[in-house]
């Protein structure tokens, strides 16, 4: 669960369990995964822990700082725990060292070593999360399906947190290279389907080259439901259109995000919640406070 959701929700009196993807293969997290044989990557769980932390700003800034070689201090910290002790100890160590209160927890979705793979519509197989996230192949060829190789099992405490949940929030995040890798872990989708909790999906704001080119809110929802194996109860999407200049400026910094997610005015309003959920200026990103308000209201229904 990303910063966009966690930073707003933690201001409310609710218990939060953040489930993090662990199979990234790119960047320093992926390199450390390969070099130190930790099986999993720590980038997402680090970001979730920082978002849930009540530590002083200076300590969080230090935890997110980089060494001269670019390695993030927190990733090195996580790698040290996994190498010297056990990766199972990581959630508890993060909770203690980053002042994460008892009513908040960050959990790895799996501790198993696996690779995310994608089969394209032309039959080509792409192996590795980073090669899906930043395509070296022809990104105009659509992804037919994604899968894990080999199979990865859910970290048991995650299944318990899903069972106990009143509301399950999925997203925002890259459809195939992030969210699907969580749903593909053995036991996760099944646990979500069995849960009586309301299932909520937060749509991305912009399309992603090689993954969701020209996707609409409906396209994203159908794919999420395909991997979940069940219809989602509520879908939150952004209805506010930022200025063309703001979009153009953001795309200069992020050319991998070619355009805004499209939506129809005739979506079922009992399921699809279209609101202004972006920040008022600057980068086109979700506003944590706007999202949290909508999510908390859904808890009351």
The predicted pLDDT at position 7 comes to 94
CATH code (residue 191)? 3.40.50.10680
**Could you tell me what percent of the chain has a pLDDT over 70?**
90
The answer on 95 and 26 residing in a single domain is yes
Whether 269 maps to a domain, the answer reads yes
User: Has residue 256 got a pLDDT over 70?
Assistant: yes
For helices 43-52 and 73-84, the axis angle rounded to 10 degrees is 110
The answer on 265 and 229 residing in a single domain is yes
Contacts of 191 (CB under 8 A, 6+ apart): 154, 158, 159, 162, 163
pLDDT-based confidence at residue 258 (cuts at 50, 70, 90): very high
Final residue of a structural domain among 66, 89, 105? 105
The answer on 60 and 174 residing in a single domain is no
Task: Look up the domain containing 98 and give its range.
Answer: 22-105
Report the Cα 72 to chain-centroid distance in Å.
Answer: 19
Task: Give 155-171 pLDDT, tens digit per residue.
Answer: 999 999 999 999 999 99
**Mean confidence (pLDDT) of the chain:** 90
The predicted pLDDT at position 86 comes to 67
Whether 68 maps to a domain, the answer reads yes
The predicted pLDDT at position 92 comes to 86
* Total number of domains in the chain: 2
User: Has residue 64 got a pLDDT over 80?
Assistant: no
Whether 223 maps to a domain, the answer reads yes
Final residue of a structural domain among 105, 138, 168? 105
The answer on 37 and 7 residing in a single domain is no
The answer on 88 and 67 residing in a single domain is yes
The predicted pLDDT at position 27 comes to 66
The answer on 235 and 181 residing in a single domain is yes
The predicted pLDDT at position 250 comes to 96
Higher pLDDT, 33 or 258: 258
User: Has residue 78 got a pLDDT over 80?
Assistant: no
Whether 125 maps to a domain, the answer reads no
In this prediction the pTM is: 0.93
3-state secondary structure the chain: CCHHHHHHHCCCCCCEEEEECCCCCCHHHHHHHHHCCCCCCCHHHHHHHHHHCCCCHHHHHHHCCECCCCCEHHHHHHHHHHHHCCHHHHHHHHHHHCCCCCCEEEEECECCCCEEEEEECCCCEEECHHHHHCCCCCCCCCEEEEEEECCCEECHHHHHHHHHCCEEEECCCCHHHHHHHHHCCECHHHHHHHCCCEEEEECCCECCCCCCCCCEHHHHHHHHHHHHCCCCCEEEEECCCCCHHHHHHHHHHCCCCCCECECCCCCCCCCEEEECCECCCCCCCECHHHHHHHHHHHHHC
Task: Give 35-59 pLDDT, tens digit per residue.
Answer: 777 788 888 888 899 999 998 888 8
The answer on 282 and 165 residing in a single domain is yes
Higher pLDDT, 209 or 65: 209
């Amino acid at each position: 669960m990303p910063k966009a959701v966690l930073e707003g929700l933690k201001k409310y009196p609710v218990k939060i369990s953040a489930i993090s993807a662990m199979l990234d293969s790119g960047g320093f997290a992926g390199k450390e995964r390969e070099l130190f044989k930790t099986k999993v990557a720590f980038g997402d769980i680090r970001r979730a822990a920082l978002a849930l932390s009540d530590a002083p700003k200076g300590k969080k800034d230090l935890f997110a700082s980089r060494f001269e070689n670019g390695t993030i201090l927190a990733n090195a910290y996580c790698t040290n725990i996994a190498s010297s002790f056990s990766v199972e100890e990581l959630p508890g160590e993060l909770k203690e060292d980053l002042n994460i209160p008892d009513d908040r927890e960050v959990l790895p979705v799996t501790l198993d070593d696996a690779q995310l793979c994608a089969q394209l519509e032309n039959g080509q197989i792409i192996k590795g999360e980073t090669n899906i996230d930043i395509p070296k192949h022809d990104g105009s060829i659509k992804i037919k399906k994604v899968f894990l190789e080999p199979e990865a099992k859910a970290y048991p405490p995650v299944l318990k947190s899903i069972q106990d949940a009143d509301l399950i929030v999925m997203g925002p995040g890259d459809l195939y290279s992030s969210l699907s890798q969580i749903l593909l872990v053995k036991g996760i989708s099944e646990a979500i389907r069995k849960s009586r909790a309301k299932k909520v999906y937060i749509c991305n704001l912009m399309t992603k080259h090689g993954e969701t080119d020209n996707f609409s809110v409906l396209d994203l929802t159908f794919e999420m439901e395909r991997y979940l194996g069940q219809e989602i109860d509520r879908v939150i999407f952004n209805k506010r259109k930022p200025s063309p200049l703001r979009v153009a400026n953001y795309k200069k910094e992020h050319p991998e995000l070619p355009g805004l997610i499209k939506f129809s005015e005739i979506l079922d309003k009992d399921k699809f919640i279209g609101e202004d959920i972006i920040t008022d200026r600057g980068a086109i990103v979700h506003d944590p406070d706007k999202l949290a308000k909508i999510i908390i209201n859904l808890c009351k229904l």
